[in-house]
A = this chain, B = another copy of it.
Amino acid sequence: MPTSEIRYVAKVDLKKPADQQNVLHNRWHPDVPSIGRIAQGEVVKVQCLDWTGGQIGNNDSADDIRNIQYVQPLVEQPWGFTGVFDKKNGGGFLDEFYPNAAKAIWDLEGIFCSSHHIPGVRFPGLIHPSILGCAPSQEILEEWNRREGGLISACAYMDQDVAKPPEPRNVHAGDASAEIKEKVGKEGARTIPGRPEHSGNYDIKNLSRGSKVFLPIHVAGAKFSVGDLHFSQGDGEISFCGAIEIAGEITLKFNVIKNGMKELAMKPPIYIPGPVEPHFGPGRYIYFEGFSVDENGKQHYLDATVAYKQTVSRCIEYKVVRI
């Protein structure tokens, strides 16, 4: 009964660099140590850095976007950012059309945000975390490395990072010992993609206040993590950090459901949004149809990726004309 204050299970310090934050990890690995225990039915708070670990400055330069390292979440500041990575630095969905790094700083005013980089736009956000999940078991981790290694090999000829293999540098593993940290670096899965076995970077824009998520548990103690908070996100994360990225904190309630996977007939995680959302009615939407015809007039066969790119391009053109 939360008649006293809700306790924090994780706090961050905005003035410390990421590698001195003992609650922070940027690899998925069963050996990343837990930072605390949560009782059945308990409500707790978690503080999160923004997903870069605080590398983005509230200024007009896009240099920090180009040179970013991949660290995940922690702490409070009254603004957020969106960014497009340079095609050479990870890129994103539309990097063929927009290859250069860019960023926008968003000022947060209650439920609204606006940006002096994008004059004329002001809208209410739908704040949500975009990474959460329980630690993989050793078997699942190996399957991930096999699976993503296969894609990297198959695409070796391409001028593109199609997936990230384990990387021993820039590893954060909470307050793990040096030995475990080294192991996590060698084997640990990167936190960029979502994965069906545990969720990870799922990026569902509607998972805001009052939502429920059902997650598989793979290791003793579950080892739940959360981070990568967004003030708002569109339909899909189009650019690499296409959402409005923020540091913040999140209140969560936990329940373990025995035999839940079987009872819920569940394979990957199930997400159920809460009852609270900005809403404007169906008549305030505008639809651009995506077709499997690319920007060079080439016909593809039922290709949702091509179609989605066309739709997004039409939206961008439409916005540019109107703002």
Contact = CB atoms under 8 A, between A and B. Distances in A.
Q: Which of A2, A308, A322 has the most CB atoms of chain B within a 10 A radius of its CB?
A: A2
A63 interface: no
B282 A273 contact: yes
Contacts of A265: 317-318, 321-322
Q: Which of A4, A143, A193, A279 has the most CB atoms of chain B within a 10 A radius of its CB?
A: A279
A14 B116 CA distance: 38
Nearest to A273: B282
B1 A116 contact: yes
A9 interface: no
Interface string A205-225: 011011000000000000000
A256 interface: no
Contacts of A35: none
A96 interface: no
Nearest to A269: B289
A5 interface: yes
Nearest to A114: B1
A207 B283 CA distance: 10
A241 to B, nearest CB: 15
Contacts of A278: 210, 274-276, 281, 283
B289 A268 contact: yes
Interface stretch (A16-24, A26-34, A179-187, A296-304): A296-304
B112 A210 contact: yes
A111 interface: yes
Interface string A250-293: 01010000000000010111111111111111111111110111
B79 A3 contact: yes
Interface string A109-123: 111100010000000
Contacts of A289: 194, 196, 199, 202, 204, 268-269, 271
Interface string A145-163: 0011011000100001011
Given A43-B109, A209-B110, A274 B283 contact: yes
A161 to B, nearest CB: 10
Given A143-B297, A151-B299, A210-B110, A283 B275 contact: yes
Contacts of A273: 282-283, 285, 287
Given A282-B277, A304-B304, A3 B151 contact: no
Interface of A: 1-6, 43, 58, 78-79, 93, 105, 107-112, 116, 124, 143, 147-148, 150-151, 155, 160, 162-163, 193-196, 199, 202, 204, 206-207, 209-210, 251, 253, 265, 267-289, 291-293, 297-305, 307-308, 310, 314, 317-318, 321-322
23 contacts: A2-B109, A43-B109, A43-B110, A111-B209, A111-B210, A147-B293, A150-B299, A151-B301, A155-B301, A160-B301, A196-B289, A210-B278, A265-B318, A265-B321, A271-B286, A272-B287, A274-B278, A275-B281, A275-B283, A276-B277, A276-B279, A276-B282, A278-B281
